[in-house]
Chains A and B, each alone.
Chain A
Amino acid sequence: QKEVEQNSGPLSVPEGAIASLNCTYSDRGSQSFFWYRQYSGKSPELIMFIYSNGDKEDGRFTAQLNKASQYVSLLIRDSQPSDSATYLCAVMDSNYQLIWGAGTKLIIKP
């Protein structure tokens, strides 16, 4: 059973601080890694994807991938109240299937 694990939270972070979201996966053959954001009552939307080991930065967001440790993370710098949402980690496995984590609820406190 291929799995993607996330801490369900909620993760509470003060406004302006760095929010760190983590995800581990079981399939070593996984190829692509995605972070989706889902606001309450809305649909998931893609915010970052990463394919290679290391860091990938996009504005206030940085995705980090470590395939040896089977670990992917998302850092949000200068957190804003509008970042409060559930963050879903999705991993494309060796069969090109997207496996989803249960999501981490992030709360940014003003």
Chain B
Amino acid sequence: DAGVIQSPRHEVTEMGQEVTLRCKPISGHDYLFWYRQTMMRGLELLIYFNNNVPIDDSGMPEDRFSAKMPNASFSTLKIQPSEPRDSAVYFCASAFTVTGMNTEAFFGQGTRLTVV
């Protein structure tokens, strides 16, 4: 498997524009996580899915953020409208399970978002 695949790797956009980040999890993983990482706040969980269903979106900053997982192999994180304070690295991660022994989260390479 190629691992968790994210696109784009870098995104520069103007304030007010819509931004869509994409993620393909590892095949067979039932859990998908969206994280945001900044120097000030570290790694923050935004939302996670189990079997394509959103389980916890309490980390989503505000209504400008939305995430979907239409099938087991694809998820999107959308920001509309984007603001400069959304600038960060956004990671997608997937895991086989969150209980028991095999709970490793595998991360994608991240999308570095810059909103100007």
Contacts and interface: CB of A to CB of B under 8 A. Distances in A.
Contact of A42 (B99, B103, B106, B109): B109
A100 B42 contact: yes
A43 B98 contact: no
Contacts of A45: 107
Contacts of B98: 92, 96, 98
Contacts of B108: 43
Contacts of B103: 32, 49, 92
Contacts of B104: 34, 46, 49
A98 B56 CA distance: 12
Contacts of A46: 104-106
A102 interface: yes
Interface residues of A, number: 18
Nearest to A43: B107
A37 to B, nearest CB: 11
A11 B105 CA distance: 26
Nearest to A51: B101
Nearest to B35: A100
Contact of B43 (A44, A51, A92): A44
A92 B105 CA distance: 11
Contacts of B42: 100-103
Interface string A27-39: 0000010100000
B110 A43 contact: yes
B45 interface: yes
Given A97-B56, A98-B33, 15 more contacts: A34-B104, A42-B109, A43-B91, A43-B108, A43-B109, A43-B110, A44-B107, A46-B106, A51-B101, A92-B103, A96-B98, A98-B45, A98-B105, A100-B42, A100-B43
